[in-house]
Amino acid sequence: MHTSIRQMAEKIKSFSGIGKRFKDISPETYTHGLIVLIIILTAIASFGLGKLSALRSFKKPIVIENTVFPVVASIESINKVVSSTALSQTAGVVNAIGEVVASRTGDKYHLPTCAGAKSISAKNKITFSSVEEARRAGYLPAGNCKGLK
């Protein structure tokens, strides 16, 4: 019941007949077979590399066309965005120093760009030329309006 690995290998060789076939081959035949195998593999590799290099030579080069117009358009649009951002930031600074608005019915003043100022109806809107003027009139800064202290 217990068989060794060696005994199992002998059984496998006897089923396939490999042991008999390779026992009868001389070392000189092994050498010749190895040389033939190397020549065949070299021929296959050479053919494959030649085919690969031929495919690369037939490939069309990648050509990029019309690159000037999109780049110019994107630079122009970037300049517009930068200039409009700079203008709005400058306007915010001027408004923080300059005029503020308040409601006749409320007690808070806002910058004209704040959401609270935009919700004040035109008939109730009071415009002050400075923060100090709004404070003298009894108004306090709105807490939700950035830029006011």
Average pLDDT over residues 102-131: 88
Percent of the chain scored above 70 by pLDDT? 69
Q: With DSSP H G I counted as helix, E B as strand and the rest as coil, what are the percentages for the chain, rounded to 5?
A: 60, 10, 30
Segments forming the whole domain that contains residue 129? 94-144
Spatial contact of 106 and 134, defined as CB atoms under 8 Å apart: no
β partners of residue 102: 109, 126
pLDDT for residue 79 = 61
Q: Give tens-digit pLDDT for 122-145.
A: 888 988 888 888 889 999 888 888
81 is a domain residue: no
107 is a domain residue: yes
Q: Give tens-digit pLDDT for 52-106.
A: 888 877 777 777 776 655 444 455 666 665 555 544 554 444 444 578 899 999 8
Spatial contact of 139 and 117, defined as CB atoms under 8 Å apart: no
Question: Which amino acid type is present at position 89?
Answer: Q
pLDDT of 148 above 70: yes
Q: Of 108, 83, 114, which Cα lies nearest the Cα of 96?
A: 114
pLDDT for residue 95 = 44
78 is a domain residue: no
82 is a domain residue: no
65 is a domain residue: no
> Per the structure block, which two tokens stand in for 89?
């930031």
Count of structural domains, the chain: 2
Secondary structure (3-state) at 50: helix
Higher pLDDT pick, 41 / 64: 41
pLDDT for residue 56 = 77
> Per the structure block, which two tokens stand in for 37?
């195998």
66 is a domain residue: no
pLDDT for residue 49 = 92
Percent of the chain scored above 90 by pLDDT? 12
